[in-house]
């Protein structure tokens, strides 16, 4: 199978075109491909382009544990760069369909930078989802391992739990991320962002990604966290999100629609060996 590998500020994905595959992947095969010791290694697989009834391309996104993700901001930027590199698109703006909705992508600087209109953020408990009565999930408490955090929940096609704190560390995300991801409040599990507000135009994140674990960067996490920072009146509408892998610019409209701009870097292309799947 032919594959392409890219990273978006340290968040790496493998792109596989369905035309290069004789049959669909099993969960075990996805886990092997994403494994950094026994496979190629990545934060997920972008499987496309597939035929879309609503956009120009349909994209399926798989987490390293084999589950399917609704949306990935970094994944969408990477997939856009792949479409551009392989000349599957010639125009600089196009529509991609995901499980989490349609997005409009714009390729800039010959693919090195990609802007994605991510859709609208909602804090509605039924849409995220979060258990309990219908409400906006703003500044509620959650307790894990005898530690109580104040959080806001949001969706931008996939679910997010944003926890504002005065100080954040990778160790904090690794210790509590999995417990929050799988908390009973979140029936579909959830992505977790530990957020430090630096000033009105800058926030810092440490991220635990649902189905992937600790990650260096995330576009959808950046979108949700920036929206929460603005919703809490801690930041303005244009926010630079600082993560261990690098920075993303998030711009928020009055209705909480999100425009995300960030870099994409090509890493490799090659051929997978069938031997990788033989235990």
Quick check: pTM over 0.95?
A: no
Token pair for 158: 């996939």
Provide CB contacts within 8 A for 96, sequence distance 6+: 52, 55, 56, 57, 58, 59, 76, 79, 80, 102, 103, 105
CA distances from 213 to 47, 110, 209 (A): 20, 32, 5
The one-digit pLDDT tens for each residue of the chain (279 residues) are 899 999 999 999 999 999 998 888 899 999 999 999 999 999 999 999 999 999 999 999 999 999 999 999 999 999 999 999 999 998 889 999 999 999 999 999 988 999 999 999 999 999 999 999 999 999 999 999 999 999 999 999 999 999 999 999 999 999 999 999 999 999 999 999 999 999 999 999 999 999 999 999 999 999 999 999 999 999 999 999 999 999 999 999 999 999 999 999 999 999 999 999 987
Domains of the chain (ranges plus CATH)?
2-118+264-270 (3.10.310.10), 140-258 (3.10.310.10)
- Neighbouring-strand partners of residue 213: 209
CA distance 178 to 45: 21
């Amino acid at each position: 199978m032919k594959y392409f590998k890219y990273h978006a500020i340290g968040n790496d994905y493998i792109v596989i075109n369905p035309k290069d595959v004789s049959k669909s992947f099993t969960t075990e095969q996805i886990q092997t491909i994403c494994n950094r010791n026994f496979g190629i290694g990545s934060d997920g697989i972008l499987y496309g382009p597939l035929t879309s009834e609503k956009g120009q391309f349909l994209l399926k996104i798989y987490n390293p544990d084999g589950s399917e993700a609704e949306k990935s901001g970094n994944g969408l930027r990477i997939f856009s760069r792949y479409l551009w590199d392989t000349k599957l698109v010639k125009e600089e703006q196009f529509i991609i369909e995901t499980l989490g909705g349609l997005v409009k992508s714009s390729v800039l600087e010959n693919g090195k930078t990609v802007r994605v209109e991510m859709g609208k953020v909602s804090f509605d408990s039924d849409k995220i989802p979060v258990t309990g009565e219908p409400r906006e999930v703003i500044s509620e408490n959650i307790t894990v391992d005898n530690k109580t955090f104040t959080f806001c929940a949001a969706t931008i096609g996939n679910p997010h739990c944003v926890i504002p704190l005065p100080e954040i560390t990778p160790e904090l995300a690794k210790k509590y991320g999995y417990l929050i991801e799988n908390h009973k409040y979140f029936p579909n599990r959830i992505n977790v962002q530990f957020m430090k507000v630096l000033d009105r135009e800058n926030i810092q994140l440490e991220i635990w990604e649902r189905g992937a674990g600790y990650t260096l960067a995330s576009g959808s996490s950046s979108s949700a966290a920036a929206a929460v920072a603005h919703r809490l009146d801690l930041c303005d509408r244009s926010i630079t999100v600082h993560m261990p892998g690098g920075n993303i610019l998030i711009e928020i409209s009055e209705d909480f629609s999100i425009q995300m701009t960030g870099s994409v870097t090509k890493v490799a292309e090659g051929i997978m060996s069938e031997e990788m799947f033989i235990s």
